[in-house]
A and B are shown apart, each in its own frame.
Chain A
Amino acid sequence: MFDFVGKRYWFFLLSALVIVPGIISLAVFGLKPGVDFSSGTSITISLSTEVEEGQLRDEVASLGYSDAIVQKTGDTFLIRIPGEPTTADKQKIVDGIQTRFETEVTVEDFSAVSPIVAAQTARNAAIAIAVASVGILLYITFAFRRMPSPFRWGICAIIALLHDIMVVVGIFSILGWLTGAKVDVMFITGVLTVAGYSVHDTIVVFDRIRENMSKRIGKDFEETVNVSIVQTLTRSLNTSLTVFLVILTLLLLVGGTIHNFTIVLLIGVVTGTYSSVCNASQLLIVWENGEWRRLFSWLPFRRKPNPQT
Chain B
Amino acid sequence: MSRNGWLLLLILALLGTSIWILSSSGTSVLHRQQGNLGLRLGLDLKGGVQVVYTGVFSDNTSDAQKSFDIDAAISSMQKRIDKYGVVEPVIQKLGNDRILVQLPGIGDVDEARRLVEQTAFLEFREVEMNGTGPATLGDYLSENRTGFFETGDIGAEGAPIGREFVDSNGQPVVFIEESDSGLKYVDVDGNAIDPTAIDATMKTGLSWMPAVGEVTREGVTTTVVLTGAYLTDASPQTSSQSSVTTEISVGIKWNSEGTDLFNQVAQRIKNKGSYGTSQRALGIFLDNELLSAPQVFPTTMTESSYGSSASITGNFTWNEARTLAVQLTSGALPISLKELFSSNVSATLGADFVHKALAAGLVGFLVVALFMILYYRLPGVIAILALAVYAILVLAIYKLIPVTMTLAGLAGFIVSLGMAVDANVLIFERMKEELRAGRTLKAAMDAGFSRAWLAIRDSNISTFIACAILYWFGSSIVTSPAVKGFALTLFIGVAVSMFSAIVSTRTFLLSFTGPWATKRLTWFGVEAKSEVEAKDA
Contacts and interface: CB of A to CB of B under 8 A. Distances in A.
Interface residues of B, number: 72
B465 A132 contact: yes
Contacts of B466: 132, 135-136, 195-196, 199
A252 to B, nearest CB: 8
Interface string A245-257: 1110110111001
A260 to B, nearest CB: 11
B263 to A, nearest CB: 32
Grouping DSSP codes into helix (H, G, I), strand (E, B) and loop, the A interface class, with mixed when no group exceeds half, is helix
A58 B148 CA distance: 64
A117 B347 CA distance: 18
A54 interface: yes
A211 to B, nearest CB: 7
For this complex, into which size category does the number of interface residues on chain A fall? 35 or more
B478 A120 contact: yes
Contact of B418 (A69, A188, A196, A246): A246
A300 interface: no
Given A196-B466, A245-B418, A186 B408 contact: yes
Interface in B343-367: 343-353, 356-357, 359-360, 363-364, 367
Given A113-B93, A245-B418, A199 B462 contact: yes
Contact of A128 (B50, B356, B483): B483
A192 B100 contact: no
A250 B364 contact: yes
B480 A254 contact: no
Interface in A87-145: 109, 111-117, 120-121, 124-125, 127-128, 131-132, 135-136, 139-140, 143
A294 interface: no
B165 to A, nearest CB: 35
B470 A250 contact: no
A185 interface: yes
Nearest to A54: B350
B415 A53 contact: no
A71 B368 contact: no
B139 interface: no
B437 interface: no
B490 A262 contact: no
A297 interface: no
Contacts of A262: 411
A114 B92 contact: yes
A241 B419 CA distance: 10
B376 to A, nearest CB: 9
Nearest to A72: B346
Contacts of A197: 419
B186 to A, nearest CB: 32
B421 interface: yes
5 contacts: A53-B346, A113-B94, A207-B455, A244-B418, A246-B364
- Give 6 nearest A-B pairs by CB, closest first: A74-B343, A114-B93, A243-B418, A246-B418, A253-B360, A124-B478
Interface of A: 42, 53-54, 57, 69-76, 78, 109, 111-117, 120-121, 124-125, 127-128, 131-132, 135-136, 139-140, 143, 185-186, 188-189, 192-193, 195-197, 199-201, 203-204, 206-208, 210-211, 231-232, 234-235, 238-239, 241-247, 249-250, 252-254, 257-258, 261-262, 265
Given A196-B466, A262-B411, 13 more contacts: A54-B352, A71-B348, A75-B343, A112-B94, A121-B482, A203-B455, A207-B454, A207-B459, A208-B455, A246-B415, A250-B411, A250-B414, A258-B407
Interface of B: 47, 50, 71, 74, 90, 92-96, 98, 100, 343-353, 356-357, 359-360, 363-364, 367-368, 371-372, 375, 407-408, 411-412, 414-415, 417-419, 421-422, 425-426, 429, 433, 451, 454-455, 458-463, 465-466, 468-470, 473-474, 477-478, 480, 482-483, 486, 490
